[in-house]
Each structure stands twice: as C-alpha cells, then as structure tokens.
Amino acid sequence: MDFAGHCSEIVTQARLLGSCLTEGTDLTATVPSCPDWNLAQLLRHLGEVYRWAEEIVRTRATQPPPETALRVLSRDTTQSPAEFGDWLTEGAELLAAALRAAGPDTKIWTPLPHGNTAFLARRMAHESVIHRADAALTLGTGFTVEQPVALDALDEWMELGSLPEMLDFHPDRRALLGPGRTLRFHATDTPPETPADWLVDLTGDALAWRRTREPAAVTVNAPLTDLLLLIYGRRPADKETFVITGDKQLLEFWLSLVNFE
C-alpha cells in the first residue's frame, strides 16, 4: 500500500464501521478484545484519535498536542448509533483530507521516530482496521479485510514491534529473547504470487523479523485475516482455524507480551 491507499483506507474503514451501527446497536456492550471499554468508548477513542492526528497534520506540529485521544473516555450512550457513525466518518474524512493536503513527506511530530505524514497515514489506516475488528467482535458480525490491507497491517505490526525503542517502552519483552526462539506465521489463502510468511526472530539482542519461509521453532498456519487478528491479540489460536507445529509454549509466551491495544 502507498500513501494514497492509506489515506483512502482510513475513510473506508470508518465508513464500514459506521455502517454496522444500526438503530438497535447496543452501545453499552462490552468490547471483548478491549474489556475496559464499552462500544461507545471504543467509538469515542477512534473518533478522537482521528481528530488528534488531524490536528498534528494540519498544524504541522513539532510537539505532541494535548492527549485528548488518550483521556478517560465517557461510557455515556446518549448519542444514537447513527450519530456515532456520522461523527466517526467525519473525523476520518477530516484526517484524510489533511493528510492529502500535506502529502507523504511533510515533517511532523509522531509518537515514534518516523516524523512524517506517511507514517501517520499508515498508522491511522491500521488503527482503523483493528478497531473495526473490535467492533465486529462486540456486535457478533463477520469481519473481513482486503488482502493488501491485511498484508500491510501485518508488515507494519512487525516493523513497529521490532523497533529498538519498544524494549524501552516494554522492558518485559526482553524476556522473549533467547537462543532458538523463532516463530513463523504463514497465510494459507494468499495466491502463489503473493507469498505471506513472517518470521519473528528472538535469537539476538533485540526483536527482529523478516519475510521468509525458513523453518522456525514454532509455525502457525491459518488464513490471512485470522493471522492478523491473532497477532493483534483479537482472537485465540483455536484448533479449528490454526495449525500449529513446534513449540506452542513459545507462541503463547510471545502472544502474551506483544498485545496491541
């Protein structure tokens, strides 16, 4: 995916999420993948993140703005599902418009040391994908995502998780490192011309990853969307969907420490 694709995907995902918010939607329902939130709080979080990021881009911020997107979110449900959907989509459209006006190479403050609008567009696209999955899990509806989007989301997850700063942010992840500790994730439903294999390498001084089909201590085979939800901590590795060979305890240990919230 490129910058234009990321900008478009922010709006696409917001609209898809909004379309699930029908008149009878229970906004008080607990989000199973984010159990501290109800559905209204999930929607508020994503809508406020859009507006927080839009301010960064629009003002060309070189310092972080007030963290309104990270404040304690109200559990209030006085807004209707339709009003939530419209507000969410409006925020996504505002952010996408600001990103397109700035272009991919504009220097801005970002939470990680990339410092440009291209990073923020990609991050917000996949933030939208995963929180739409959270909403789908809450509502008991199906969740699908286009293969290029899922591939890019997994690549981004691997890239961010392997940044040296992550061990400073999450020092408990140092316990993952050790000889022979490798994990391979293979998507079983992508076409031959689109290989989808990720190897997580924990054998060095830092977390690393690469696209490869080489053997690993544990291998997980599943459809691409299921791998995406597993790695983002949105679903368990049930036997009906996932074929796991090798060191299952290593997989469980790794998953327990790399959750995305």
pLDDT one-digit tens code per residue, 14-47:
999 999 999 889 999 999 998 889 999 999 999 9
- Please report which confidence band the pLDDT of residue 67 belongs to, taking 50, 70 and 90 as the band edges: low
**Residues 67, 69, 70, 74: is their CA dihedral positive or negative?**
positive
Does 117 score more than 60 pLDDT? yes
| 64 CB-near residues (< 8 Å, 6+ apart) | 56, 109, 111
Task: Write down the mean pLDDT value for the chain.
Answer: 92
Does 6 score more than 80 pLDDT? yes
Q: Are 216 and 184 in contact (CB under 8 A)?
A: yes
| Cβ-based neighbour number of residue 225 at 10 Å | 20
Instruction: Specify the pairing of strand 208-210 against strand 197-201.
Output: antiparallel
Residue 23 is which amino acid?
Answer: E
Does 190 score more than 50 pLDDT? yes
Predicted local distance difference test score (pLDDT) of residue 71:
56
- Please report which confidence band the pLDDT of residue 69 belongs to, taking 50, 70 and 90 as the band edges: very low
For tokens 């040296």, what's the residue?
Answer: 164
Residues of the chain with CATH 3.30.1050.10: 152-257
Residues of the chain with CATH 1.20.120: 3-143
Show the DSSP H helices in 60-115 as ranges.
81-102
**CATH level 2 (architecture), domain 152-257:** 2-Layer Sandwich (3.30)
Residue 183, helix vs strand vs coil = strand
Does 72 score more than 60 pLDDT? no
Burial, 192: exposed, middle or buried (Cβ in 10 Å; 0-12, 13-18, 19+)?
Answer: exposed
Q: How far apart are the first and last CA of the chain?
A: 23
Nearest Cα to Cα of residue 31 among 45, 50, 48, 47: 45
Topology, domain 3-143 = Four Helix Bundle (Hemerythrin (Met), subunit A) (1.20.120)
For tokens 């509502």, what's the residue?
Answer: 139
Burial, 149: exposed, middle or buried (Cβ in 10 Å; 0-12, 13-18, 19+)?
Answer: buried
